[in-house]
A and B are shown apart, each in its own frame.
Chain A
């Protein structure tokens, strides 16, 4: 993947451009509406959805509250099963560890299972810089990689591409990476999938090193779980001699039994299926447990922090770490549906991206400071979330932090954020409001004045408020302030108009 998120413009600019792209909007609308309808059906099949959702939330909260303990327990379990555990505080460290591990095998190519964590740290680019070629093997990731593009959705990273565009990318680029696309390739999905199968099978069969993430890690057994559809995950997790898994520290569940909740909620929320076609679970190496001779001989688990412990320090924001990356919130979001994933400037787009990215990366960049505003706060994302993350609550919390500044934790240290630039008018208005509400006399006078001059009020705001009122109606000021009405009519008991 050659696309990078560094130096992305703020969300409003990026979104403005995306919204003008009609193909993109049509692709997105089709995709999000299709999956949204399917998901509703899949969820309606289980009568205890609310209870599963609550249990999922509680399990994740419990895990986060004792994360240190469960991390240590997980490490012990993985080591006992023959694996090796590495700890990476940030992206650079994780990339260094993985690069070193690959080099130790003497190989110069690796096959990869789709993984948000490795995208987050830019692993492919880091490997490439060291002369190691990483092949993405998920069909959508392949489309993104061959198209020198960036992913735009958590579950279907090439959601912004239609079949015609995919055909063109395959026909043009496959030969650069290995087996070329078949002659006369058409744009039917079955033919495109077949082309990908032939192209990638070559790589699977010869691969010596596989790299993955994980959907879950079970602390008490040391088991890792990868949930997928295509079988590329099974290929990467089974055939190579060495397997390296890069996993965020928040992906733990305490016990084997806890999987019963998430294996029910994740498939239905993400792909809208009763169960995804393939789920692989492995515990350590083939020599470390039952099932002799099955799977990789060497297993390395890289536990990734990269801003997660900072996020954990925020009482309101830490709930974002419950996320199981199902992407249901993307598909219901009216903002995502129109702007697309690229505008979010992060591997985590949509509502979850709007709260996760500014917490993982901090709010110093323009794009991160703008993300909490990339929402209409309609609440649909909270409704569908299978672990009940109150995304609107976190959005509002982050907006406040950006406007007001205040104490946060960055890289483990407490720092005090300055109020962000560009919010001066908002801050001034809030200060004025605070003053007015604490001075009842002034408030009363002001309200009466506003009512009496209502015919003179402009239809749009002057100055910094102009853009805001360009797309919104200003609220009409009533003819009489509420408290005057209350006094005049004795709270409505005496009628009046």
Chain B
């Protein structure tokens, strides 16, 4: 008998006494916590990101290229990793050398790059989380992991949800997903929080206001 059959057999025998009728699971919990306007939700996202020591910037779509260029310059980044589908215009004003991510690039090559700029799939206000789903403007999971500086652009308010349940509804489980809440951290030494153990030590999030630009354009 294979171990598969053995384990399944044991499980079935163990459950022989269990009642077969099923009561539906009571999901009496909230879909989101609190009653907020769209603007307040974005504000909460900014607050919670900052609370976990991400550096938060806000700008309009028109100002985004200048904002990103300024951030890279301030950090002194000579090289910046670019996912294949990142909006071209975003880095139009940046002086750093742009390195496209290629499937062949080794972890050691990625380790020598100063910064990475990505978009995101969704951001969760209540927990201060950005979620990447490996889409063309976010790239592979490793590019936001190996370099020490990650800049993530969140389109507000479209990409912002209030809560974890709302975020899961928007995501596709078939994609590789990375949820990021602040920079890497550990509390293993006397429960003192230290940032940046293995992932990027600096996480900067740019909340770019797409609605404002729409209004300006129209």
Q: Does B76 make an interface contact (CB < 8 A)?
A: no
Supposing A68-B15, A271-B187, A312-B15 touch, asked if A278 and B199 sit within 8 A by C-beta, the answer is: yes
Supposing A234-B141, A278-B179 touch, asked if A260 and B199 sit within 8 A by C-beta, the answer is: no
Supposing A68-B11, A238-B145 touch, asked if A231 and B27 sit within 8 A by C-beta, the answer is: no
Partner of A280, one of B14, B177, B182, B194: B177
Partner of B186, one of A193, A221, A295, A312: A193
CB distance from B8 to the nearest CB of A (A): 5
Q: Does A431 make an interface contact (CB < 8 A)?
A: no
A67 to B8, CA, bound (A): 9
Supposing A232-B198, A283-B173, A303-B7 touch, asked if A275 and B191 sit within 8 A by C-beta, the answer is: no
| CB contact list, B45-104 vs A, under 8 A | 48, 52, 103
Residues of A near B164 (CB, < 8 A) are: 260, 263-264, 275
Q: Does A313 make an interface contact (CB < 8 A)?
A: yes
Residues of B near A238 (CB, < 8 A) are: 140-142, 145
Total interface residues in chain A, CB < 8 Å: 99
Q: Does A106 make an interface contact (CB < 8 A)?
A: no
| CB contact list, A1-59 vs B, under 8 A | 27, 30-31, 34-35, 45-48, 51-52, 54-55, 58-59
CB distance from A186 to the nearest CB of B (A): 12
Q: Does A416 make an interface contact (CB < 8 A)?
A: no
Interface of chain B: mostly helix, strand, loop or mixed: loop
| CB contact list, B1-54 vs A, under 8 A | 2-4, 6-15, 17-19, 22-23, 25-30, 33, 48, 52
Residues of A near B15 (CB, < 8 A) are: 65-68, 312
Is B197 within 8 A of A230, CB to CB?
Answer: yes
Partner of B103, one of A158, A196, A283, A293: A293
Chain B residue at minimum C-beta to C-beta distance from A54: B26
A184 to B133, CA, bound (A): 42
Supposing A293-B103, A412-B9 touch, asked if A279 and B26 sit within 8 A by C-beta, the answer is: no
Q: Does A223 make an interface contact (CB < 8 A)?
A: yes
Is B14 within 8 A of A313, CB to CB?
Answer: yes
Chain B residue at minimum C-beta to C-beta distance from A286: B176
Is A275 within 8 A of B185, CB to CB?
Answer: no
Partner of A290, one of B8, B108, B172: B172
A316 to B65, CA, bound (A): 61
A75 to B189, CA, bound (A): 38
CB distance from A414 to the nearest CB of B (A): 9
A156 to B165, CA, bound (A): 28
Is A229 within 8 A of B186, CB to CB?
Answer: yes
Is B184 within 8 A of A279, CB to CB?
Answer: no
Residues of A near B174 (CB, < 8 A) are: 81, 221, 283, 289-290
Give the segment of A119-127, A137-145, A370-378, A449-457 that binds chain B: A137-145
Is B141 within 8 A of A166, CB to CB?
Answer: no
A417 to B175, CA, bound (A): 49
Is A193 within 8 A of B108, CB to CB?
Answer: no
Q: Does A101 make an interface contact (CB < 8 A)?
A: no
Partner of B198, one of A87, A189, A201: A201
Q: Does A273 make an interface contact (CB < 8 A)?
A: yes
Is B142 within 8 A of A65, CB to CB?
Answer: no
A238 to B200, CA, bound (A): 15
A322 to B130, CA, bound (A): 29
A15 to B97, CA, bound (A): 60
Interface residues on B, range: 35 or more
Supposing A231-B197, A277-B184, A278-B178 touch, asked if A221 and B173 sit within 8 A by C-beta, the answer is: yes
Is B172 within 8 A of A231, CB to CB?
Answer: no
Residues of B near A205 (CB, < 8 A) are: 106-108, 111, 146
CB distance from B178 to the nearest CB of A (A): 6
Residues of B near A234 (CB, < 8 A) are: 141, 145, 178, 198-199
Partner of B140, one of A257, A273, A291, A303: A291
Give the segment of B120-128, B152-160, B209-217 that binds chain A: B120-128
A305 to B6, CA, bound (A): 10
CB distance from B164 to the nearest CB of A (A): 5
Is B199 within 8 A of A231, CB to CB?
Answer: yes
Residues of A near B182 (CB, < 8 A) are: 277
Chain B residue at minimum C-beta to C-beta distance from A309: B10
| Most-contacted residue by chain B among A54, A166, A193, A232 (CB, 10 A) | A193
Chain A residue at minimum C-beta to C-beta distance from B34: A47
The contact sample of 27 A-B pairs, CB cut-off 8 A, is A45-B33, A55-B28, A58-B25, A65-B22, A71-B11, A81-B174, A87-B2, A189-B194, A201-B111, A229-B187, A230-B186, A230-B197, A234-B141, A249-B7, A259-B168, A260-B168, A274-B128, A275-B179, A277-B52, A279-B177, A281-B173, A283-B176, A309-B14, A310-B10, A312-B11, A312-B14, A412-B10
Instruction: For the A-B complex with A205-B108, A256-B173, A289-B174 known, give 18 more contacts whose Cβ atoms are closer than 8 Å.
Output: A47-B33, A48-B28, A54-B28, A55-B29, A58-B25, A65-B15, A65-B18, A89-B6, A93-B3, A189-B192, A200-B198, A205-B106, A229-B186, A274-B52, A278-B184, A279-B179, A289-B175, A310-B14
Closest 4 CB pairs of A and B: A231-B199, A231-B198, A291-B134, A309-B10
Where the two chains meet, the residues of B that have a C-beta atom closer than 8 Å to any C-beta of A are: 2-4, 6-15, 17-19, 22-23, 25-30, 33, 48, 52, 103, 106-108, 111, 124, 126-129, 133-134, 140-142, 145-146, 164-165, 168, 172-192, 194, 196-200
Where the two chains meet, the residues of A that have a C-beta atom closer than 8 Å to any C-beta of B are: 27, 30-31, 34-35, 45-48, 51-52, 54-55, 58-59, 62, 65-68, 71-72, 81, 87-89, 93, 137-140, 143, 156, 158, 162-163, 166, 189-190, 192-193, 196-197, 200-201, 204-206, 218, 221, 223, 229-232, 234-235, 237-239, 249, 256-257, 259-261, 263-264, 267, 271, 273-283, 286, 289-295, 303, 305, 309-310, 312-313, 315, 318, 409, 412
